Amino acid sequence: MDKVKDFNLLLTDKERIVIISHVNPDGDAIGSATGMKKFLESNGKVVDIVVPNKYPQFLGFLDPMSKIITYKDNPEAAAKVLSGADVVLCMDFNSLKRIDDLGALVERSNGAKVLIDHHLQPENSFDIMFSDPGASSTCEVAYFLIKRMVMADRSLASLDLDAGISFYTGLMTDTNNFANSVRPETFRMACELLELGIDKEDIQFKVYSGFREERMRMMGYMLYENMKVFPQSKAGFMLITKELKERFDFRDGDSEGFVNLALNVAGVEVSALFTEADGYIKVSLRSKGDFSVNKLSRAFFNGGGHERAAGGKIYIPVSEVEEYFLDSLEKYRHTICK
């Protein structure tokens, strides 16, 4: 409770808050940032959100006035709000490396730095940390934090419906629709948000049923032609090359969920999706059972994350990706998981 009191106290005489979230922002990043912004605004704060690059279009309903600042497109605006920030609230990431060039700006800011997150092994560069790796999502951490803040200071306005919609979105997406990383608190929160009046079907529809036809065709192609299953390695594999991106008119967010598909195959315990980008290959990893993709990613893919959902980057030609992946599994099983 002391940390909660410290945070309340910190906010008492601070007016300008900047919320930062991670590169390739997902439902939890945008949900937790917009939910927290709503709560803080209800309590008289001036709040800006800055993310390193664009969020996918399907999350636009959480930012209807397009107020979120994208550092890549508008570095001046990002620098301006950060230079005037009293508090920098870092949400849904555990290391300043996860926000690319924005990290240097955050480091330079004179504002107090507060972390709200659920990733393993958070970096120790924050004045106050609310880190709960057992939580399903940053939205879950933020939601229960707000409840404790309001309990500690009854003069605070509690969260409203819009904040509830934001927090439910991250809860739903980071758990892959309540399939992974759920604990009793996760459902308790979902239940309380339903009681608050959120329309869960509307959120579900906006997030999972707003894809373009090309994306659905691409998903069919990925399953039918692209996915490889390696029974001996207990692994599934997909690779999106630049050529494929062009063929299916690929946009950010189109591959959301692809990495989970191979995990539905019996016997597969780790699944990888590799996406060719400019100068690197983006890595997305998922697992079931005891396989730690966090460890795998830290060791071989320059990244990290959670035990069953992690990501990273590699810098090798696309033609070598499959072999590199199978090799990493072999090494992981023979060394790291021993």
Residues that bind ligand 5GP (CB under 6 A): 24, 26, 98, 119, 259, 284, 303-306, 309-313
Residue 50 in contact with residue 19, Cβ under 8 Å? yes
Between strands 112-117 and 87-91, the pairing is parallel
At its nearest, how many Å lie between Mn ion and the CB of residue 24? 12
Binding partner of residue 311 among ligand 5GP, Mn ion, none, CB cut-off 5 to 8 Å per kind: ligand 5GP
At its nearest, how many Å lie between Mn ion and the CB of residue 234? 26
CA distance 19 to 40: 11
Indicate the residue among 166 and 284 with the shorter CB distance to ligand 5GP.
284
Indicate the residue among 185 and 252 with the shorter CB distance to ligand 5GP.
252
First vs last Cα of the chain: how many Å apart?
Answer: 39
At its nearest, how many Å lie between ligand 5GP and the CB of residue 106? 16
Q: What are phi and psi of 113, to 5 degrees?
A: -105, 125
List alpha helices for the chain, DSSP H: 2-12, 27-42, 75-83, 102-108, 138-152, 161-174, 184-196, 200-208, 213-221, 242-247, 258-261, 293-300, 321-331
Binding partner of residue 173 among ligand 5GP, Mn ion, none, CB cut-off 5 to 8 Å per kind: none
> Which residue do the tokens 């006035």 mark?
65
Tokens of 91: 């949400």
Interface of this chain with Mn ion, residues 286 to 325, rule: CB under 5 A = none
Indicate the residue among 92 and 256 with the shorter CB distance to Mn ion.
92
Amino acid at 3: K
Binding partner of residue 309 among ligand 5GP, Mn ion, none, CB cut-off 5 to 8 Å per kind: ligand 5GP
SS3 302: coil
At its nearest, how many Å lie between ligand 5GP and the CB of residue 80? 27
Q: Could you give the string, one character per residue 88-107, with x where binding to Mn ion holds by CB under 5 A and - elsewhere? A: ----x---------------
At its nearest, how many Å lie between Mn ion and the CB of residue 322? 28
Residue 308 in contact with residue 229, Cβ under 8 Å? no
Where on the chain is the footprint of Mn ion (CB under 5 A)? 28, 92, 137-138, 174
